[in-house]
Structure 1
Amino acid sequence: MTTKYPEIPKKTFADYGQMLHGFWPNKPTFTEKDYPEFEGKVIIVTGGNTGVGYETVKSLAGSTKAKIYIFSRNEEKTLKAIKDIELEVAKEYKLKPNPIGFIQTDLSDLTTIKPAVEKFLNKESRLDLIIHNAGVMTPPTGSKSKQGYELQLGTNVLGPFLLQRLLDPIFIKTAKTNPPGVSRIVWVASTAHQVAPKGGIFWEDKNFENIPISSTIRMQIYGQSKAADILLAKAWTRHHPNVKDDVISTSVCPGYLKTELSRHSSWFESFILNRVTWPRRFGAYTELYAAFSPDVKDGDYSISFGVPAHTREDLNSVESGDKLWNWCEKETDPYV
């Protein structure tokens, strides 16, 4: 029997140019000076206790008056991160930020997400912005989520999809009270989507269990999870037509950054990455450009550090997006 490998579409010159942009990105121009006050509004940042998420929360805490919640797995690590953020904000921004909330959940275990949302709903009656920042990249071969999915597919795709699905009622209710475009969903993807299987998902073997895993295949598996985030970003408003004029659902590649996301890389990969990546704070500028810039429209994709960009052409397919959406709904139905 012949082993079936995923088909990877050929890249255009524009695709290659965009991939190179990450090594020599533009200087951020949309920064804290441009963010709205967001007073009285509520923001969720997943994975806000480390890496780009940490910097995003810090920037929000220092430059807006919003109430911020970190959704993350490790309570001890997150509570320490919140204390560190508060100290850094006081030093850098010369102010005392609003208290930062913590909700414990593990995106790699779908059973933990509904209790987390219920805890949030007991505390808040609105939700204006959610940044799906948490994720995992190239874990050890064979890593699985609690429900048995390939770990990146489970953590980067199904976890955020279920979280958003459960938050949709309060998010949509809030969106109807906001001016158009204020309520936003930011799905953190990656330029790695360029090496994802055609259509985003390798449906013949989405958990990559039947082919030998090489370094190239490892990146394709990661790219699959990030292509899926782009497809979901483009599909969200299509599946919520009652608020299609009110909500912006958008995706980003934060940039090539020095974060814990690459902790599973080999020593050689880490050696190279440390020489071609940028401080993680710059990634926060990409995420918050998507969250606040008036230039961002529904379905857009942005790259480092706040630059409009394009996704691979096949990821604009409504058919591919709806196929993934329907699969995610079916897989998460038992946990709603």
Structure 2
Amino acid sequence: MSACAGGSPIAQGQPKPDWGLADMPSQDGRIVLVTGGTSGIGYESAKALAAAGARVVIASHSSLERGEDVLASIRQDAPNAQVQYEKFDLADLASGRALAERLNATLPRLDVLINNAGIMEPPERGVSKDGLEMQFAVNYLGHFALTERLLPLLRKSDAPRVVTLSSIAARRGAAIHFEDLQFEQDYDPGDAYRQSKLACLMFAFELQRRSDASGWGLRSIASHPGVSRTNLQVNNGVVRRTLGRFILQPAARGALPTLYAATAPDARGGSYYGPTGVMEMRGPLGFARVPEAATDARTSTRLWRVSEQLSGTPYPSRAAD
């Protein structure tokens, strides 16, 4: 793994701190899928990629009307943008399966998958259509399953990338609670959120290890947006009270680590990018600190196996082509 563990940055492949949209290479001819691209980090990522020439598929649970409004907004800024909207629900594994079937039937390949969509700390425990705790289902397991189902399309690309969004919350005492993975016994919104985002980070690293072992050719990279002005943060009462709106950076700024991971030639597989200012809430782009829990290979392997069982999506074996 090329990510840094325990907060020690790696000099090789370090992005320049002031990397911005002007540094993003042309995306002409690339095909990108962004989950949750109708607002926040996902929207800013989709808009920037479309403006750079990529064909962008936005997949979200928003209504078709909302999707059309988002496409119109992107085209207003980039009249030649190639964008399409696909409605699907990460909280419904059958919906993700149907999306993958549509895309496998209509796209020639997929160059970049950005696993961006998420929810944050609903006060009451909710469950997905598959009976799973909602944050675990939406933030993590839905993306785990979608990535496997899109693996054939990704492998048709010359240089496929999978970018999975985590959070600085993954550092704050996060753990994988195998004894109560769905928080059925004692639901804590923050703890469930931290678990889901730690799982996303572990998934990104394990996906790179498995790709390297099996020759899938993927570059799997994790990113986090710091603390940005999105629906997740602005609508979260705890964040409003403790941080205040003045600390939140614009969503466009928060999207830069994801865009770097998705487009920069030097972005390294198995790495983790984010802001590097105070507590990584905002600031210059760089390697993010990796929590020790995310480097536990035994736990990552166990989580992977449990995730395959829960989602019904077994990945190809490491030895398989």
TM-score by length of 2: 0.85
Equivalent in 312, 327, 332 of residue 291 of structure 2: 312
Amino acid at match of 2:265: P
Counterparts of 1:94-173 in structure 2, within 5 Å, are: 96-173=79-156
Q: Residue deviations 1:95-137, cap 9 Å, x none?
A: x233201111100111101111111123211100011010011
TM-score, length of structure 1 as denominator length: 0.81
In structure 1, the residue corresponding to 2:169 is in which secondary structure? helix
User: Shift in Å at residue 58 of structure 1?
Assistant: 1.0
What stretches of structure 1 move > 6 A for 4+ residues in a row? none
**Partner of residue 274 from structure 1, selected from 245, 270, 275:** 245
What value does the CA root-mean-square deviation take over the aligned residues?
2.4
User: What secondary structure, in the 3-state scheme, does the structure 1 residue paired with 2:82 have?
Assistant: coil
Question: Does residue 228 of the first structure (1) align with residue 170 of the second (2)?
Answer: no
Structure 2, unmatched stretches of 5+, are: 1-5, 9-14, 276-283, 316-321
> Is 2:164–2:222's contact at 8 Å kept on the other side of the alignment?
yes
Identity of aligned residues (%): 29
Distance 1:78 1:27 in 2: 34
Q: 2: CA distance between counterparts of 1:239 and 1:247?
A: 9
Tell me if 1:188 matches 2:160: no
Q: Does 1:206 align with 2:181?
A: yes
Deviations 1:12-69, CA, capped at 9 Å, x for gaps:
7x59xxxxxxxxxx9962222222222222100101111111111111111x222110
| One-letter amino acid matched to 1:318 | A
Q: Secondary structure at the match of 2:310?
A: helix
Count of residue pairs brought into register by the alignment: 295
Per-residue CA deviation, residues 283-329 of structure 1 (Å, 9 max, x unaligned), is 12111111122332121111125311221112111111111111111
Cα pair 1:28 1:282 within 8 Å, conserved: no
Q: Say which of 299, 302, 326 aligns to 2:305.
A: 326
Q: 1:113 to 1:28 in 2, by over 3 A?
A: same
Cα contact 1:196–1:221 (8 A) shared by 2: no
Structure 1: runs of 5 or more not aligned? 1-11, 16-25, 90-95
Which range moves more in the overlay, 269-278 or 142-151?
269-278
Q: Separation in 1 of the partners of 2:251 and 2:17?
A: 13
Give the CA deviation at 1:84: 0.9
1:102 is paired with a residue of what secondary structure?
A: strand
Q: Which secondary structure state, in structure 1, belongs to the residue aligned with residue 312 of structure 2?
A: helix
- 1:88 Cα deviation from its structure 2 partner: 2.6
Cα 1:168–1:273 change in 2 (3 A) is farther
Offset at residue 243 of structure 1 (A) = 2.8
The structure whose residues are more often helix, as a share, is 1
Partner of 2:38, secondary structure, is coil
Letter in 1 for 2:240: S
Relative to structure 1, the CA distance from residue 37 to residue 233 in structure 2 (aligned partners, 3 Å threshold; closer, same or farther) is: same
Q: Distance in 2 between matches of 1:273 and 1:295?
A: 35
**Deviation by residue 1:233-291 (Cα, 9 ceiling, x = unmatched):** 001132232336x321011111100110136522x642434122111110121111111
Q: Deviations over 1:172-208 (max 9, x none)?
A: 122xxx2xxx4211000001001244xx311111122
Q: Is the 8 A contact 1:187 1:230 kept in 2?
A: yes
Q: Is the 8 A contact 2:25 2:264 kept in 1?
A: no
